[in-house]
Chain A
Amino acid sequence: MSLSTQSLSPNLPPDTQREMLRRMLTIRRFEERASDDYRAGKIYGVVHCYIGEEAVAVGVCSALDRGDRIISTHRGHGHCIAKGADLNRMMAELYGRQTGYCKGKGGSMHIADFGIGMLGANGIVAGGIAIVTGAGLAAQMEGKGGVAVSFFGDGASNAGPFHECLNIAATWKLPMLYVCENNMYAAQTPAAATHALSDVAARAAGYGIPGVVVDGNDIFAVYQAANRAVDRARSGDGPTLIECKTYRWRAHTERRGQPDLRDPAEVEMWKSRDPIAQLEHQLREQGYLDDTELQAVERDIMGAIEAAVTFAEASPFPSPEQATDDVFAA
């Protein structure tokens, strides 16, 4: 992977590039805090961290408009933040509070913000792929040039909905991006043990659509691929499968005592390819960022996260009786 800014930075305005950095850093700091608070018993259930994969969500969402729709997985904080979700309501949801995005009914695995086109994290592997393909169908029927994006893992790419949806989206030329976050593992199982081909993207050929492999830790590579796919989708040419090769730094979940069977040297190798450090390096090379600016960004983010925690802690728990609300729409 070349670090030459010439070949990688797609002539994006400096503000856009700095915004990409800010979002990636926000995801990382948010999850570091969520993980600490989970260990402290303030966040319940199960938390899956996206740390190490931030360039995928931010790279893809940077190519979208506000009205475009995305769907996420069990590892959903990154997609929420990349699409512009409110940190206060996210943190309050993790804290199980009434002011959370789902009024405390969902938790980490189920944050959604339909107002910004974020159709939800999902606890069922591959559970979101058909739903967001339906959003793609809706965008096509609306005829306003909207697109929809399915984020899913390498593990999910082996489940039926992936194949069924790629076929129907290709056949109907739906304005879709299928973004596979190939972090090389599904829980403890290496992708190599469950995929006959090393590239998920190669499966696109079977459905007659473009399949591209990108370095998922290089935000510009992700952004460029997403941009091309968005153009194609908006012009009515149908879906694209984008496979982002990436890696999660942490264990599958934050649960204590959980096995992590991965080779520590492999983890270290991927940490040395930190997507955030790479972007930071490129911004500095272009003269778009210096220490003072970076510190200011960090301070802003830490302030926002601290504020989110304060908001969550000050928010009431739902009242027990609210358990029966929202089973049906009014």
Chain B
Amino acid sequence: MRELTYNEAAVEAVAEEMRRDPKIFYMSTDPIGPLLREFGAERVRATPITEAALTGMAIGAAGSGFRPIVDWRQVTFCFVAMDQIVNQAAKIHYMFGGQVSFPILYRAAVGGGGQVAAQHSQSPYSMFMNVAGLRMFLPSTPHDIKGLMKTAIRDNNPVISFESSRLMTRKGPVPDEDYTIPLGQADIKREGSDVTVVALAWLVHEALAAAEELAQEGILVEVVDPRTLVPLDAQTIRTSVQKTGRLVIADEAGPTAGFSAEIAAVVTEDGATFAQLKAPVKRVCALQVPIPYSPVLENHVFPDRQRIITGIREVLHGRRSTAAA
């Protein structure tokens, strides 16, 4: 199968959908070259740096029959548009009794690792998960981002595509033929019977590397990639934990009220899954700090395969889970 980078696969998804549906148009502060060349400046708009307006304009255009895509680029740039996201996009369909739909795709790069410091590195998806009315996903492979993005563009709701900065140039197989991946469907990236690792984005790859390493010792790790954050595929996660009896959650975001907390709750509040747990749930997350610049500091803040391995050993030996690290 041919290989594309994560970023190329995302752009290909957008291009294919734009070819299919003339109502789709794209707005960002610096347009993506190939899209601009193919679709022209009318449909691929270079905008002023005014994310609040763009985010809101997408709502109005969507409610008027178009299917806008707004590329916030770094997720931190969309914080200037929080009113439009939280008060408007998320609530408008519900608040007005579902009169019309608002099909919008918002794109945002998340994560760290580039030494670009606190205002250009963040993984704030749980802030958005907390808002009713927004769907969102965060894929780990070129294959998944393409399939999920196509579904999201066809969805009749505001959907946020969180995209991992660390994975942008990472290659992977992408089928030639048209395909989509439904929202709300987790993917088991590796099967195993001793411990479940639920990981997102870049940490899926770190978890797979950890699983490979531990396989040498006969420890069989199952890696579950939720892919979609809202709606969350709780069933796949619970089924996996019922099988292994042990859960490690790996997230590039901090632990507090985070995605990892949600996964822990989804697993432990379910009686059938709780009954199978052999050890406390372990979270392997970033430290709860803004992301620092210096590589020494930045590397210390983020979890990696080593910390995942440590977390796995901890749940295997049934030691008490200390505070999230």
Say if the beta carbon of A160 comes within 8 Å of chain B: yes
Say if the beta carbon of A14 comes within 8 Å of chain B: no
Say if the beta carbon of A318 comes within 8 Å of chain B: yes
Say if the beta carbon of B191 comes within 8 Å of chain A: no
* Nearest CB on A from B115, distance (A): 4
Q: A313-330: which have CB < 8 Å to B?
A: 317-324, 327
- Contact at A104–B297, with CB atoms within 8 Å? yes
- Contact at A318–B289, with CB atoms within 8 Å? no
* Nearest CB on B from A103, distance (A): 8
- Contact at A105–B294, with CB atoms within 8 Å? yes
- Contact at A124–B293, with CB atoms within 8 Å? no
When distances are taken between beta carbons in the complex, the residues of chain B under 8 Å from A125 are: 49, 77
- Contact at A320–B116, with CB atoms within 8 Å? no
- Contact at B80–A189, with CB atoms within 8 Å? no
* Nearest CB on A from B105, distance (A): 21
Measured in the bound complex, the distance between the Cα atoms of B42 and A215 in whole Å is: 34
- Contact at B48–A105, with CB atoms within 8 Å? no
* Nearest CB on B from A202, distance (A): 16
- Contact at A317–B296, with CB atoms within 8 Å? yes
* CB 8 Å contact bits of A290-330 with B (1 = contact, 0 = none): 00000000000000000000000000011111111001000
Measured in the bound complex, the distance between the Cα atoms of B48 and A156 in whole Å is: 9
Given contacts A96-B295, A194-B47, whether A45 and B30 have CB atoms under 8 Å apart is no
Which of A106-114, A230-238, A243-251 sits within the interface? Answer: A106-114
Measured in the bound complex, the distance between the Cα atoms of B51 and A160 in whole Å is: 9
Given contacts A96-B294, A124-B77, whether A320 and B115 have CB atoms under 8 Å apart is no
* Nearest CB on B from A129, distance (A): 12
* Nearest CB on B from A96, distance (A): 3
Chain A interface size band reads 35 or more
Measured in the bound complex, the distance between the Cα atoms of B118 and A124 in whole Å is: 10
Measured in the bound complex, the distance between the Cα atoms of B296 and A123 in whole Å is: 21
When distances are taken between beta carbons in the complex, the residues of chain A under 8 Å from B300 are: 320-321, 323
- Contact at A107–B295, with CB atoms within 8 Å? no
Q: B274-301: which have CB < 8 Å to A?
A: 287-290, 292-301
When distances are taken between beta carbons in the complex, the residues of chain A under 8 Å from B52 are: 159-160
Given contacts A194-B46, A194-B48, whether A320 and B117 have CB atoms under 8 Å apart is no
- Nearest A-chain residue to B73, judged by Cβ: A187
Given contacts A110-B119, A189-B46, A193-B46, whether A96 and B293 have CB atoms under 8 Å apart is yes
- Nearest B-chain residue to A43, judged by Cβ: B115
Measured in the bound complex, the distance between the Cα atoms of B54 and A158 in whole Å is: 12
- Contact at B115–A107, with CB atoms within 8 Å? yes
Measured in the bound complex, the distance between the Cα atoms of B296 and A317 in whole Å is: 7
Say if the beta carbon of A23 comes within 8 Å of chain B: no
Q: A49-87: which have CB < 8 Å to B?
A: none
- Contact at A105–B46, with CB atoms within 8 Å? no
When distances are taken between beta carbons in the complex, the residues of chain B under 8 Å from A45 are: 114-117, 120, 293
* Nearest CB on A from B93, distance (A): 25
- Contact at B118–A110, with CB atoms within 8 Å? yes
Measured in the bound complex, the distance between the Cα atoms of B297 and A123 in whole Å is: 19
Contact of A186 among B49, B79, B293 (CB under 8 A): B49
- Contact at A158–B301, with CB atoms within 8 Å? no
- Contact at B299–A158, with CB atoms within 8 Å? no
- Contact at A186–B29, with CB atoms within 8 Å? yes
Say if the beta carbon of B76 comes within 8 Å of chain A: yes
* CB 8 Å contact bits of B13-45 with A (1 = contact, 0 = none): 000000000000000011001000000000000
Say if the beta carbon of A289 comes within 8 Å of chain B: no
- Contact at A104–B50, with CB atoms within 8 Å? no
Measured in the bound complex, the distance between the Cα atoms of B30 and A109 in whole Å is: 20
When distances are taken between beta carbons in the complex, the residues of chain A under 8 Å from B116 are: 45-46, 107, 109, 123
Say if the beta carbon of A127 comes within 8 Å of chain B: yes
Say if the beta carbon of A97 comes within 8 Å of chain B: yes
- Contact at B292–A105, with CB atoms within 8 Å? yes
Given contacts A124-B77, A160-B80, whether A104 and B296 have CB atoms under 8 Å apart is yes
- Nearest B-chain residue to A189, judged by Cβ: B46
- Nearest A-chain residue to B117, judged by Cβ: A107
Give the interface centre of A102, A104, A127 by most chain B CB atoms within 10 Å: A104
- Contact at B46–A323, with CB atoms within 8 Å? no
* Nearest CB on B from A209, distance (A): 22
When distances are taken between beta carbons in the complex, the residues of chain A under 8 Å from B79 are: 124
- Contact at A155–B30, with CB atoms within 8 Å? no
Measured in the bound complex, the distance between the Cα atoms of B79 and A112 in whole Å is: 22
* Nearest CB on A from B253, distance (A): 15
* Nearest CB on A from B2, distance (A): 23
When distances are taken between beta carbons in the complex, the residues of chain A under 8 Å from B289 are: 323-324, 327
Give the interface centre of B30, B48, B76, B293 by most chain A CB atoms within 10 Å: B293
Give the interface centre of B50, B292, B294, B300 by most chain A CB atoms within 10 Å: B294
* Nearest CB on A from B32, distance (A): 11
Say if the beta carbon of A198 comes within 8 Å of chain B: no
Given contacts A107-B115, A109-B117, A321-B300, whether A159 and B50 have CB atoms under 8 Å apart is yes
- Contact at B299–A107, with CB atoms within 8 Å? no
Would you list 11 pairs from A and B whose C-beta atoms are within 8 A, ordered by A residue? A96-B115, A105-B293, A124-B77, A126-B49, A155-B49, A158-B49, A159-B49, A186-B49, A193-B46, A323-B298, A323-B301
Beyond A319-B296, A320-B297, A327-B288, 16 additional pairs, beta carbon < 8 A: A96-B115, A104-B297, A105-B290, A105-B297, A109-B120, A122-B119, A124-B119, A160-B50, A160-B80, A189-B29, A193-B46, A194-B49, A318-B296, A323-B287, A323-B300, A324-B287
Footprint of A on B, CB under 8 Å?
Answer: 29-30, 33, 46-50, 52-53, 76-77, 79-80, 114-120, 287-290, 292-301
